[in-house]
């Protein structure tokens, strides 16, 4: 314990901890110590006194997000007709260890030579109708919370176990189909309630099959490439910055770059196609959805695929908006789009499913006004979830840096403002400032200089060229 600081009584400690966790905004203890009454200052004091350690992560608490999955009753599957697609191979491709598989892919060659892409999505809305207790709880959360050390579901774990694709011999699904002509253009879309047999694969396993010439994955890869080319011709912006998976188990931190598998690209592109098809289908039937729209870039996008170009390109994009009226999504190069492939994990995806199901069942769906109200609430709550995730990942990344101060890292100068540069460390997907004359695009080798966990800041020093 630092000798210049007094011991805190239990009541004082509780008061300071509440401020550090964002549960109150004043602290007489900090005021008496002539310290700023901020969560960062309270966090720093608790660390200096040895009352907290690096294991204390206050950011999810500050964001006001739920740290445990809900525990609510889960209904049984309704008895309703479904199209039997168990004859098709359906692949659910995810990261290793994924516990909530909510989408799968099939490819069918039709007698007339057309290819039919199926994007199967867990039929969560069959068990979570609008304004049910489960729906209201999911809306309050907005999204599933993925922290490095644990996951807090938007929906009960028992429901995820019931609806997850491939977790049982047969899986009910809401399936979106797109028929493609020989020129690669989409000719028609449809949505149906289905029943499947799903095989689960990791991205690595799917990549091995793709490399070995698997005809299904090869066909999906072809469709994905054609789709990406068409979207790029319509102005879609491709941003490919490093991504990592930060995990904490028993206090040990691991930071693993995500491999750039073609199988990951296939899944991402097919999910994009599903969102376009769902929006087109809804527009044709005049179904209100939380459509995702994005304005054109507010300035010219820099050319090239370098890290500085990718970094600058991301800054040209406007924020995606959700609204009950159809509109273009500029960044994706699409005239219509609705996120729909993660109803287990994102509330607005669940709303899309509720609306599509209502149309299929010839029932009255939500109005545009009701959709707008759900967008407002869910967007705010999901924003808090994403903020908590970002800050928790950064915290544990800084902890790992602090634990291994001798480690060196490759870095790239991706931005400059006078003498100040912004570095991107690809192995950590972490950016940090550095005063250096190195020009844009320079590759450097850096080492940790300092970390401030409460402020979530980090500084590096250059120890060599790349």
Domain residue spans of the chain = 10-52, 83-388, 404-465
Average pLDDT for 200-225: 97
pLDDT value of residue 247 = 96
Task: Provide the residue count of the chain.
Answer: 466
Average pLDDT for 202-222: 97
In 130-262, DSSP assigns E strands to: 145-146, 151-152, 171-180, 186-196, 198-202, 244-249, 252-257
Which residue is associated with the tokens 């287990």? 344
pLDDT value of residue 466 = 56
Average pLDDT for 362-377: 97
pLDDT value of residue 4 = 65
Question: Which pLDDT band, with edges at 50, 70 and 90, does 1 fall under?
Answer: very low
The two beta strands, 291-293 and 321-323, are antiparallel
Residue by residue, DSSP assigns 241-254 as ---EEEEEETTEEE
What does the DSSP 8-state code read for residue 317?
P
Selecting from 3.40.50.300, 1.10.10.10, 1.10.3720.10, 3.60.15.10, what CATH number does the domain 10-52 have? Answer: 1.10.10.10
Average pLDDT for 252-260: 94
pLDDT value of residue 432 = 97
pLDDT value of residue 327 = 94
Average pLDDT, the chain: 95
Q: Is 50 exceeded by the pLDDT of residue 163?
A: yes
pLDDT value of residue 2 = 43
Question: H or E stretch including 440?
Answer: none
Average pLDDT for 38-48: 97
Q: In the structure, how many helices (H) and strands (E) does the chain have?
A: 12, 18
Average pLDDT for 248-265: 95
Please give the share of the chain, as a percent, with pLDDT higher than 90: 90
Average pLDDT for 393-408: 97
Hey, what long-range contacts does 355-359 have (CB within 8 A, 24 or more apart)?
355/282, 355/287, 355/288, 355/289, 356/125, 356/174, 356/191, 356/278, 356/281, 356/282, 356/287, 357/123, 357/125, 357/126, 357/174, 357/193, 358/287, 359/191, 359/282, 359/285, 359/287
Average pLDDT for 70-81: 96
pLDDT value of residue 183 = 80
pLDDT value of residue 304 = 83
Average pLDDT for 211-227: 96
Euclidean distance between CA atoms 352 and 185, whole angstroms? 25
Task: Identify the CA nearest to 381 among candidates 136, 101, 71.
Answer: 136
Query: Of 334-338, 369-373, 391-395, 416-420, which range is least confident?
Result: 416-420
Euclidean distance between CA atoms 227 and 221, whole angstroms? 10
CB 384 within 8 A of CB 63: yes
Question: What's the farthest any 2 CA atoms get from each other in the chain?
Answer: 82
Q: Is 90 exceeded by the pLDDT of residue 299?
A: no
Of the two residues 149 and 303, the one the predictor is more confident about is: 149
Please give the share of the chain, as a percent, with pLDDT higher than 70: 99
pLDDT digits (tens, 9 = 90+) for 407-420: 999 999 999 999 99
pLDDT value of residue 10 = 95
Superfamily of domain 404-465, CATH level 4:
Nucleic acid-binding proteins (2.40.50.140)
Average pLDDT for 194-219: 97
Euclidean distance between CA atoms 93 and 101, whole angstroms? 8
């Amino acid at each position: 314990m630092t000798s210049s600081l007094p011991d805190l009584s239990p009541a004082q400690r509780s008061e300071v901890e509440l401020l550090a966790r964002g549960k109150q905004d004043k602290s007489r203890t900090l005021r008496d110590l002539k310290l700023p009454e901020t969560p960062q200052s309270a966090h720093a004091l608790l660390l200096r006194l040895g009352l907290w350690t690096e294991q204390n992560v206050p950011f999810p608490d500050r964001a006001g997000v739920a740290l445990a999955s809900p525990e609510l009753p889960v209904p049984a599957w309704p008895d309703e007709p479904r199209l039997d697609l168990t004859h098709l191979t359906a692949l659910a491709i995810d990261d290793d260890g994924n516990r909530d598989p909510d989408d799968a892919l099939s490819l069918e060659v039709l007698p007339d030579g057309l290819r039919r892409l199926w994007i199967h999505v867990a039929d969560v809305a069959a068990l979570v109708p609008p304004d049910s207790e489960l729906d209201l709880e999911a809306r309050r959360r907005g999204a599933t919370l993925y922290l490095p050390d644990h996951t807090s579901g938007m929906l009960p774990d028992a429901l995820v176990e019931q609806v997850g694709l491939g977790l049982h011999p047969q899986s009910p699904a809401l399936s979106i189909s797109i028929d493609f002509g020989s020129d690669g253009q989409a000719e028609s879309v449809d949505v149906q309630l289905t029943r499947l047999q799903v095989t689960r694969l990791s991205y690595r396993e799917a990549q091995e099959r793709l490399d070995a010439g698997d005809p299904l994955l090869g066909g999906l890869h072809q469709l994905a490439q054609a789709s990406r080319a068409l979207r790029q011709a319509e102005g879609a912006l491709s941003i490919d910055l490093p991504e990592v998976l930060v995990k904490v188990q028993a206090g040990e931190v691991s930071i693993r770059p995500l491999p750039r598998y073609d199988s990951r690209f296939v899944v991402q592109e097919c999910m994009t196609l599903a969102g376009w098809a769902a929006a087109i289908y809804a527009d044709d039937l005049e179904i209100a959805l939380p459509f995702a729209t994005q304005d054109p870039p507010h300035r010219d996008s820099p050319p090239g695929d370098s890290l500085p170009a990718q970094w600058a390109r991301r800054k040209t994009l406007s924020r995606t908006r959700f609204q009950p009226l159809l509109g273009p999504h500029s960044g994706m190069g699409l005239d219509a789009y609705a996120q729909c492939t993660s109803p287990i994990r994102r509330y607005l995806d669940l709303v899309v499913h509720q609306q599509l199901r209502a149309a299929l069942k010839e029932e009255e769906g939500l109005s545009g006004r009701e959709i707008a109200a759900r967008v407002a609430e869910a967007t705010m709550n999901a924003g808090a979830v994403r903020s908590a995730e970002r800050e928790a990942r950064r915290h544990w990344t800084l902890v790992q840096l602090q634990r291994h101060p001798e480690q060196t890292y490759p870095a790239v100068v991706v931005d400059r403002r006078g003498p100040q540069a912004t570095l991107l460390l690809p192995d950590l997907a972490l950016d940090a400032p550095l005063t250096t004359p190195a020009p844009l695009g320079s590759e450097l080798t850096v080492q940790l200089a300092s970390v401030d966990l409460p402020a979530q800041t980090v500084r590096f020093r250059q120890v060599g060229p790349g």
